[in-house]
Structure 1
Amino acid sequence: MALLDHLPRHLFTSRGWGLLAAGTLSLLCAQVMGRRDLLGLGVLLVVLPLIALAGIRLVKPRFRVYREFSPATVETASATTVRLAVARTGPEAGRIIMEERLPSRFGESPAFRFPSRSASGGTSRYEYRLRSGKRGQFTIGPVTAEFTDPFGLSLHRHTIDDGDTLTVTPAAVELPVTGLAGARGNDGITATRIRANPSDDDVMTREYRHGDPMRRVHWPATARHGALMVRQEESVTTPEATIILDQRFGAHSSGFGSVFSGSGDDGNDLVTSDTFEWAVTAAMSVSAHLSERNYSLRFLDAAGDPAFHRSPSAPEPDCEEYSGAAGLQSIAESLAAIQLSGPHHLRREQHDTSLREHSGGSESGQSVFDDRLIDKLAAHRMRGPVLAVLGRISLAEARALAPAAGYAANAFAIVITDRPAESSEVLEALRLGGWRAVSVDAATSLPAAWTYFDEGDATLAAAAADVRRGAEVTR
Structure 2
Amino acid sequence: MNAPRRHLPRPTRRGVGVVVAGALLIGVGLGLSSLPLVFAGVALVALVFASLVGVAIRVPSIEVSRRFAPDRAVAGWSVVETVTLVAPGSRSPVSVRVRDTVAWRVMHSSEGRVTTIPGGGAATVSFLLDDLPRGRHRVGPALVDVVEAFGVARRLVSVPGRSELTVLPEVVPVGRGRESRALGETGRQRRDHTSGGQDDPITREYRRGDAMRRVHWKATARQGELMVRQEEQHGLPSARVVLPTDPANWRDAHPALGSKLPVSDGFEWAVSAAASIAIEFGLAGSETRVVTLDGSLLADHDPAMTPLFLEMLADITLGDEVDLLSPEPAPREPVIAVVSSLAPREIDALGRSRGPGVRGVAVVVHLDSDPLTPDDSGEGSPGSVARALRETGWLVVETDSVADVAAVLQTPGVFGG
* TM-score higher than 0.5: yes
Find the residue that maps to 2:354 and give its secondary structure.
helix
Deviations along 1:230-261, one digit per CA (max 9) or x if unpaired, are x97779923333332112222221xxxx4443
Residue 299 (1) aligns with residue 290 (2):
yes
CA shift for structure 1 position 127 = 3.4
1:23/1:447 Cα in 2 relative to 1: closer, same or farther (>3 Å)? Answer: closer
1:111/1:191 Cα in 2 relative to 1: closer, same or farther (>3 Å)? Answer: same
How many angstroms apart in 2 are the aligned matches of 1:50 and 1:445? 59
Find the residue that maps to 1:156 and give its secondary structure.
strand
**2:115 partner amino acid:** R
Find the residue that maps to 2:327 and give its secondary structure.
helix
Aligned residue pairs total: 368
Deviations along 1:12-47, one digit per CA (max 9) or x if unpaired, are 824762686489769989xx99x9x99999987765
1:148/1:406 Cα in 2 relative to 1: closer, same or farther (>3 Å)? Answer: closer
Matched with 1:398 is 347
2:183 to 181, 184, 188: 181
Matched with 2:215 is none
Residue 79 (1) aligns with residue 41 (2):
no
5+ residue gaps, structure 2: 1-9, 208-228, 368-375, 377-381
**1:340 partner amino acid:** L
Deviations along 1:123-171, one digit per CA (max 9) or x if unpaired, are 1233343331654555545433333333445322222344534333331
Matched with 1:225 is none
Whether the 8 Å contact between 2:242 and 2:291 is mirrored in structure 1 is yes
**1:422 partner amino acid:** S
Matched with 2:60 is 61
**2:240 partner amino acid:** T
CA shift for structure 1 position 292 = 3.1
2:300 to 303, 321, 325: 321
1:446/1:12 Cα in 2 relative to 1: closer, same or farther (>3 Å)? Answer: closer
Matched with 1:261 is 255
How many angstroms apart in 2 are the aligned matches of 1:182 and 1:90? 68
Residue 427 (1) aligns with residue 392 (2):
no
Find the residue that maps to 1:246 and give its secondary structure.
coil
Matched with 1:281 is 272
Bigger fraction of residues in helix? 1
Whether the 8 Å contact between 1:69 and 1:80 is mirrored in structure 2 is yes
> Which stretch has the larger CA shift, 242-251 or 176-185?
176-185
CA shift for structure 1 position 61 = 0.8
Find the residue that maps to 1:275 and give its secondary structure.
helix
Whether the 8 Å contact between 1:381 and 1:407 is mirrored in structure 2 is yes
Q: Summarize the alignment of residues 80-159 of structure 1 with structure 2, pairs less than 5 Å apart.
A: 80-92=79-91, 96-101=95-100, 104=105, 109-115=111-117, 122-132=121-131, 134-136=133-135, 140-159=139-158
Find the residue that maps to 1:329 and give its secondary structure.
helix
> Which stretch has the larger CA shift, 66-75 or 441-450?
441-450
**1:113 partner amino acid:** T
CA shift for structure 1 position 62 = 1.3
How many angstroms apart in 1 are the aligned matches of 2:352 and 2:78? 44
**1:250 partner amino acid:** A
Find the residue that maps to 2:11 and give its secondary structure.
coil
1:268/1:288 Cα in 2 relative to 1: closer, same or farther (>3 Å)? Answer: farther
CA shift for structure 1 position 71 = 1.0
How many angstroms apart in 1 are the aligned matches of 2:238 and 2:100? 44
**1:413 partner amino acid:** A
Residue 377 (1) aligns with residue 356 (2):
no
1:26/1:144 Cα in 2 relative to 1: closer, same or farther (>3 Å)? Answer: farther
Residue 52 (1) aligns with residue 85 (2):
no
Q: Summarize the alignment of residues 320-339 of structure 1 with structure 2, pairs less than 5 Å apart.
A: 320-324=299-303, 327-336=305-314, 338-339=316-317
How many angstroms apart in 2 are the aligned matches of 1:38 and 1:161? 46
Q: Summarize the alignment of residues 344-423 of structure 1 with structure 2, pairs less than 5 Å apart.
A: 376-378=326-328, 381-382=330-331, 384-406=333-355, 411-417=360-366, 422-423=384-385
How many angstroms apart in 2 are the aligned matches of 1:96 and 1:274? 41
Matched with 1:244 is 242
How many angstroms apart in 2 are the aligned matches of 1:235 and 1:247? 27
How many angstroms apart in 1 are the aligned matches of 2:73 and 2:335? 28
Matched with 1:437 is 395
Whether the 8 Å contact between 2:187 and 2:236 is mirrored in structure 1 is no
**2:116 partner amino acid:** F
CA shift for structure 1 position 68 = 0.2
How many angstroms apart in 2 are the aligned matches of 1:188 and 1:58? 74
Find the residue that maps to 1:282 and give its secondary structure.
helix
Deviations along 1:216-241, one digit per CA (max 9) or x if unpaired, are xxxxxxxxxxxxxxx97779923333
Whether the 8 Å contact between 1:136 and 1:269 is mirrored in structure 2 is no
Whether the 8 Å contact between 2:297 and 2:326 is mirrored in structure 1 is no
Matched with 1:192 is 194
The two structures, once aligned, show a CA RMSD in angstroms of: 5.0
Matched with 1:316 is none
Whether the 8 Å contact between 2:336 and 2:414 is mirrored in structure 1 is no
How many angstroms apart in 1 are the aligned matches of 2:53 and 2:199? 83
How many angstroms apart in 2 are the aligned matches of 1:38 and 1:417? 73
Instruction: Name the structure, 1 or 2, with higher relative contact order (CA <8 Å, separation 6+).
Output: 2
How many angstroms apart in 2 are the aligned matches of 1:205 and 1:336? 34
Find the residue that maps to 2:310 and give its secondary structure.
helix
Find the residue that maps to 2:355 and give its secondary structure.
helix
How many angstroms apart in 1 are the aligned matches of 2:264 and 2:293? 18
1:23/1:159 Cα in 2 relative to 1: closer, same or farther (>3 Å)? Answer: farther
Matched with 2:224 is none
Find the residue that maps to 1:441 and give its secondary structure.
strand
Deviations along 1:58-108, one digit per CA (max 9) or x if unpaired, are 221112211100111211343322222211113356661322236658896
**2:291 partner amino acid:** L
Calculate percent identity across the aligned residue pairs.
21
